Chains A and B, each alone.
Chain A
Amino acid sequence: MGRSPAADSRRAYGEPGLLGDSWRTYRMVAGMWIRSTMTYRSSFALTLATSFCVTFFDFVVILLMFGQVRGLGGFSFAEVALLYGTAGTSFGIADLTMGSLQKMGKRIRDGSLDTFLMRPAPLLAQVAADKFALRRFGRIAQGLMVLVWGLLLVDVAWTPLKALLLPVTVACGAVIFGAVMVLGASTQFWLQDAAEVTNSFTYGGNTLLQYPPTIFAQELVRGVVYVVPLAFVSWLPALYVLGRPAPAGVPGWAAFASPLVAAVCCGAAGLAWRAGIRSYRSTGS
């Protein structure tokens, strides 16, 4: 007892668990979308270039600003680049892999979610890989470029711990952004037009994290640390790397809490997703 018949059948078929199954499904569906995009090659090249330009000009704006002022909220240009780069890369990865979740409301409204539910594959993987767009790589490339730039210019006494913290931060950041996207998609099971609310957390959070916390109001910073734990995406770890105090009275060890926060976010997102599906399947809308 205790084992679900579904799990038994999975074993009988010699299949991997939910995670392996999701990854397999994701790869299959994403692969189909890449092939679909490639049927319009020039259009793909054009959107890729546009996407890169748009994000790049974001950074040019900061460049221009630093031409006029010495620093931003007490942060030098290189330090801002580091913040911008870590947040931007994390967000880019999450946006590439999970960005399609924004479209959940539309999927529910036009009934295509039902088609997904009829397939013998995990729903979240199907929805996340839906409309998979390689052009979103532009965002990651841009984030990485700025990050490398910042690393080359920044004046930091590097220790092994700091060197390790940086890639871990980027990875955990991507997971946290991804979890927030799943959470947002889950709410669309109930509120079908709430995509913009989620976007304000993900896209808005990304923009917030690209600048030093010192330039924002304390209340806002507290909200980002304690309410929506986006600060763990880049602020807290990056500030540690830069040897600066954490904002809003956060203890020093918080800089290393990103993996924990990421795990908690995933758990919450998973629960919300399950609740969402259950609600959808009982209400049909």
Chain B
Amino acid sequence: MPPFIELDALEKTFTVRRRAGLLRREKREVRAVDGISFGVEKGEMVGYIGPNGAGKSTTIKMLTGILTPSGGRLRVAGVDPARERTRLARRIGVVFGQRTTLWWDLPLKDSYRLAHRMYRIPDDRYERNLARCVDLLDLGELLDVPVRQLSLGQRMRGDIAAALLHDPEVLYLDEPTIGLDVVSKARVRDFLRELNATRGTTVLLTTHDLTDIEQLCSRVMVIDHGRLMYDGDLAGLHAVGESERLLMVDLERELPPITDVPGARFVRAEGPRQWLAFPATTSAAPLVAAVAARHPLLDLSVREPDIEAVIAKMYGGTRDERRESLM
């Protein structure tokens, strides 16, 4: 059986016209998606990451059928999205972190009623799904509140519920935790995990927050310059990207740089405080033990690598090559 979502050498080329001089216009081809192939099985939860302008949104737009691919093959649930956009719309849910589809001036429940009718959801199924979302996303007291009065976190929960009332088989989330506080983020993640576990909903999410990926996705895909650069688990990404975590230690007093701990690299010092880098794939525990055994340690903290840095490091070389080839 073919995968639930299947991309085969998918391409999207835009023609950008730029003003060059008073009347002359310059035409330039931009390959937003440059031959991407992957398959996602039903029930998978996949993180789709990459820097801004890497081609993430363009891919999502093709998956939802908004954009027609310029080349390659694409199937979602056995259907060509561009040709059967409206039909597919009933089977997918989409949430944009930065744009709400809820009705600003109306109580939250009115937006759900519209979805009920627009997606032609059978009454019993609608009631059941709504009750479930209200329960799990804690929307009970918000249903009668106009959307404009909701906080960002509340609105995001409201948006996620709106995208799920018609029981989509796949859910696309674009930056679902952007701008949310820690508690709201945790709540959204808990819900998505639960949704995936109990309903088997396939989830594809784009994010800049590595914690989203860590906590939700068993698989991560990295895209840059329209190409798939990595496809695998998060640990593998750290290994390939040689990403480093940062250990910050507070010593009793100002001491010479710590260079005698194997596996750690001295980064910098500021008075009694020192920073050590170590591979993200190794555990922090033995390292901390080694430092504590040799030096008077007062306090410490570990900072996770951020996604941009991992990607930049991982593909710094290739990026430069590509840039040169463009010139």
Residues of A within 8 A of B (CB): 5-6, 9, 13, 15, 25, 28-29, 32, 35-36, 39-40, 111-112, 114-115, 117-122, 278, 281-285
Contacts and interface: CB of A to CB of B under 8 A. Distances in A.
B113 to A, nearest CB: 9
Q: Determine chain A's interface SS by DSSP, over half rule.
A: helix
B315 interface: no
A284 B118 contact: no
Interface in B92-118: 92, 94, 96, 99, 101, 103-106, 110, 114, 117-118
Contacts, number: 75
28 contacts: A5-B87, A6-B83, A6-B87, A9-B84, A9-B87, A28-B118, A32-B110, A36-B104, A39-B106, A112-B99, A114-B66, A115-B101, A120-B86, A120-B87, A120-B89, A120-B118, A120-B120, A121-B86, A122-B86, A278-B68, A281-B68, A282-B70, A283-B14, A283-B15, A284-B14, A284-B66, A284-B67, A285-B14
Interface of B: 12, 14-15, 58, 61, 64-68, 70, 82-87, 89-90, 92, 94, 96, 99, 101, 103-106, 110, 114, 117-120, 146
A97 to B, nearest CB: 19
A282 B99 contact: no
B110 A111 contact: no
Contacts of B120: 13, 15, 120
A32 B117 CA distance: 12
A36 B114 CA distance: 13
Given A32-B106, A120-B87, A120-B118, A115 B99 contact: yes
Contacts of A6: 83-84, 86-87
Contact of B89 (A35, A40, A112, A119): A119
A114 B61 contact: yes
A282 B86 CA distance: 17
Contact of A117 (B83, B84, B85, B119): B85
Interface centre among A15, A117, A121, by most B CB within 10 Å?
Answer: A117
A73 to B, nearest CB: 43
A221 to B, nearest CB: 35
Nearest to A121: B118
Interface centre among A120, A278, A282, by most B CB within 10 Å?
Answer: A120
Contact of B66 (A28, A35, A118): A118
A278 B65 CA distance: 12
Nearest to B163: A118
Given A115-B99, A278-B68, 7 more contacts: A9-B87, A32-B106, A36-B103, A36-B104, A118-B64, A120-B120, A283-B14
Contacts of A25: 118
Nearest to B65: A117
A189 to B, nearest CB: 13
A181 to B, nearest CB: 23
B99 A35 contact: no
